[in-house]
Structure 1
């Protein structure tokens, strides 16, 4: 949730009123953007050379030079991502990055197979967070103000590793310059989850995500980009042609889906949650531009009006939706529109906010029960996301937010939502999918993203809130990143 105030407004507000867009942070973001442009060119050239077999990134090893021995998991109870119960008496074989075989009994594994005895624990798919901000999740404001840009990238990389160590093997990035970090993770240069990037969120002048200082006004349509836009955090578009251009720019950089801002946002003191940004024509232009590349648009929207306008324009996913009403919920169900929302239940789920931002937050918290109740009653396709920002204390609550869902769902439903359910949403990126293959399930042929948890989360969902203690094995793409099982 990005926001911005001018320097004058910052002086009149308390420290957290619009922390993500203080002039100092914008300066830091400009440095990130300049570095991204330079590094992106170098990384892109390097990737091209790698694809030709001329060079290999430092630290990256091909599967041929470092063959991964087959891994066989035994003595486990299986939650496969779709069932409401666990089952035992199985053996699972992983070869390279895929689940090769799931069989009953205790057959002899292939020669050279590494055996992993799970000790009767539960084996399940890796978790998926459908609303994350990779570059901004855990970087405190003082660090962003004072740190060297190299440190900022290293800090984001470290948080990506912590994300994976919490058991989230995949995230959908809903705004921010995450392309370079994604590339580094995919090439094995750093450790982190799979990233489905949106690139810059696209908004209107004065809309949620417009982080420009007032000194950048007036904006000239078709004029040069503001410093904010050059960072890749957000882009401004004020007519249908500009929306098409900005969407195509993100897709050119590798976006797997597009994020458009349809209304106001929580941490934006210059917006209210009931306001509208894009017209239906403008939204439709973005939806069509994404559809032309065989992917979809997710629209940030809280109010019924904003949600209904997005659906009328053809949007296939609504982000947040906490103020929706009965009629809007029925419309979403009828159209098969996805709802990607967050279980914000109290102040502990957000950094301190004041002024209009505080008013917006209280509206969201008050609407959380309604949005989940309506989603469940109407059988809306619902994804789990956290949208945690600017605090490593908050990002550590990523698994804890999953437990908030017990107010509306049973444990099996929660686990299904955060695995196979979220994977179904990710698959809507079609040919823009950066990771072809099945995620969120344990079945033959699926990508090997696996967790072994010390206990049964279908009986006790609180286990996911303490990953350091309870996650014994973390595997992503067939590679073990953690294994603390005895022996």
Structure 2
């Protein structure tokens, strides 16, 4: 596929031979030719370029192509991500991708600064979704299983931009091949939120996320990977050693945290919510492998038995938990375990489901009030996530999911959960944090992720469900992606 004139064919009397003939690049060409496939080409090219030093390390921030002028926000009411009351009489200076200054009064702006007069509106941090699937959010399952991988990533890129324009400036991706999309966004090649990637969710044979066709069975450990595994959607592991291997593979690719599947799930029609998958030693292997890289594993678990097994294995975060009982809630609180759960309250929050998936969904909906009631009663550290899947129309409900929390929390607590609270969970990735710095707050030194809201969400959270009209300014990483303020 890739070729050049060999050294013995070229005129070597000149100052240098063709750079294509350098041994390193010839090795790259041979590897790409050998590994050419829908996944192999991307992975092979990336690994080869990395070996030559042509790509930056995972988590490193790209250099800005050119300096941008400072931006000053004035005339606003401030929700800083923590306080229950708004503050006035402040100015914010943004330089680069950080909040340089948060000052009282009317300090003179730097030379050449751009002024944004908020007209007395509320200025707040960008929202954070702690359970999102950047590649799976907008496309139906049938398309994800059959479409060309290029189409899938183009659709994910388009959905990433829509996610940002809903006011979500950061997401924690809990399963899927989002590494390339993350890098494209970080490098300015695509528009979207920051992504904290987990990579492939790690499950057992027949567990949630195992979407293989029956023709892929029987599975032989160490044998060829299924299409599902090749594309990075999920990895199957059926022993502690395999779990360690799969965890290390995701961390090697740049995962900021790991997703382990401890039981059944709604989107997997061959599973039930009461079932358990990994044994405690298998879960412990995954948790320890993540801990060895100074990050953590989040465990997908609905029933108490799965949650308690995950906690016994050392897990620091439980995803979902809708079927937990009070003893389990108390155990989570006593051990400081995070609960990342989602307010599914009706069929409108999911695409149409049938069979076992619908049965599972109805169980989740029935357990939603219980999980939030228990979380509040026992003061469990709780994160907001939406976990919307397989429909661009359903993905648009990301803000609506946040407003569902008004059934259990006041507006200030909702906004705090979706900003500084979720940022605390993200920070658990420690040295694997791809964006080290302050997120979810408006203070000096924090990332400049800012929204200007046309209504006061502390008084009325409902308009957050309509971000097109509500958020007049959307800034992420110091860049203004939307500004529809009058004048």
Which ranges in structure 1 are unaligned for 5 or more consecutive residues? 1-32, 53-59
Give the whole-Å Cα distance in 2 for the aligned partners of 1:44 and 1:485.
45
Spell out, residue by residue over 1:144-186, the C-alpha distance to the aligned partner (whole angstroms, 9 max, x if none).
Answer: 5775443322111010000000000000000100101111000
Spell out, residue by residue over 1:61-94, the C-alpha distance to the aligned partner (whole angstroms, 9 max, x if none).
Answer: 843x410111000000000000111110000000
| Deviation for aligned residue 1:129 | 0.4
SS at match of 2:298: strand
CA contact (8 A) 2:177 2:232 kept: yes
Matches within 5 A, 1:390-401: 390-401=390-401
In the alignment, which residue of structure 2 is the partner of 1:306? 306
Give the whole-Å Cα distance in 2 for the aligned partners of 1:224 and 1:199.
19
In the alignment, which residue of structure 1 is the partner of 2:241? 241
Matches within 5 A, 1:261-300: 261-300=261-300
Matches within 5 A, 1:18-417: 34-43=37-46, 48-49=53-54, 51=56, 62-63=63-64, 65-141=65-141, 143-144=143-144, 148-417=148-417
Whether 1:428 aligns to 2:420 is no
CA contact (8 A) 2:136 2:144 kept: no
| Deviation for aligned residue 1:42 | 3.0
Give the whole-Å Cα distance in 2 for the aligned partners of 1:481 and 1:418.
20
In the alignment, which residue of structure 1 is the partner of 2:28? none
CA contact (8 A) 1:341 1:382 kept: yes
Spell out, residue by residue over 1:116-147, the C-alpha distance to the aligned partner (whole angstroms, 9 max, x if none).
Answer: 10000000000000001111100135655775
Give the whole-Å Cα distance in 1 for the aligned partners of 2:343 and 2:325.
17
Change (3 A) 1:314 1:147: closer
SS at match of 2:343: coil
* Between 349-358 and 410-419, the greater mean CA deviation after superposition: 349-358
Spell out, residue by residue over 1:247-292, the C-alpha distance to the aligned partner (whole angstroms, 9 max, x if none).
Answer: 0000000000000000011122221111110111010000000000
In the alignment, which residue of structure 1 is the partner of 2:31? none
* Between 472-481 and 215-224, the greater mean CA deviation after superposition: 215-224
CA contact (8 A) 1:411 1:457 kept: yes
SS at match of 2:137: coil
Give the whole-Å Cα distance in 1 for the aligned partners of 2:132 and 2:325.
25
In the alignment, which residue of structure 2 is the partner of 1:467? 467
Whether 1:457 aligns to 2:457 is yes
SS at match of 1:367: helix
Change (3 A) 1:483 1:36: farther
SS at match of 2:300: strand
| Deviation for aligned residue 1:353 | 1.3
Give the whole-Å Cα distance in 2 for the aligned partners of 1:37 and 1:462.
46
TM-score, length of structure 2 as denominator length: 0.89
In the alignment, which residue of structure 2 is the partner of 1:3? none
Point out the structure with max Rg over C-alpha. 2
SS at match of 1:171: strand
Give the whole-Å Cα distance in 2 for the aligned partners of 1:248 and 1:177.
15
In the alignment, which residue of structure 2 is the partner of 1:14? none
Spell out, residue by residue over 1:388-435, the C-alpha distance to the aligned partner (whole angstroms, 9 max, x if none).
Answer: 011111000000110000000000000000000000000000000000
In the alignment, which residue of structure 2 is the partner of 1:5? none
| Deviation for aligned residue 1:479 | 0.6
| Deviation for aligned residue 1:308 | 0.2
In the alignment, which residue of structure 2 is the partner of 1:19? none
Give the whole-Å Cα distance in 2 for the aligned partners of 1:124 and 1:251.
33
Spell out, residue by residue over 1:320-353, the C-alpha distance to the aligned partner (whole angstroms, 9 max, x if none).
Answer: 0000000000000000000000000010011111
Q: CA RMSD in A?
A: 1.7
CA contact (8 A) 2:131 2:384 kept: yes
Give the whole-Å Cα distance in 1 for the aligned partners of 2:317 and 2:447.
25
| Deviation for aligned residue 1:474 | 0.5
The higher relative CO (CA closer than 8 Å, separation ≥ 6) is in: 1
Give the whole-Å Cα distance in 2 for the aligned partners of 1:269 and 1:143.
17
| Deviation for aligned residue 1:242 | 0.6
SS at match of 1:302: strand
In the alignment, which residue of structure 1 is the partner of 2:26? none
Spell out, residue by residue over 1:30-67, the C-alpha distance to the aligned partner (whole angstroms, 9 max, x if none).
Answer: xxx95343224434555742549xxxxxxx9843x410
SS at match of 1:321: strand
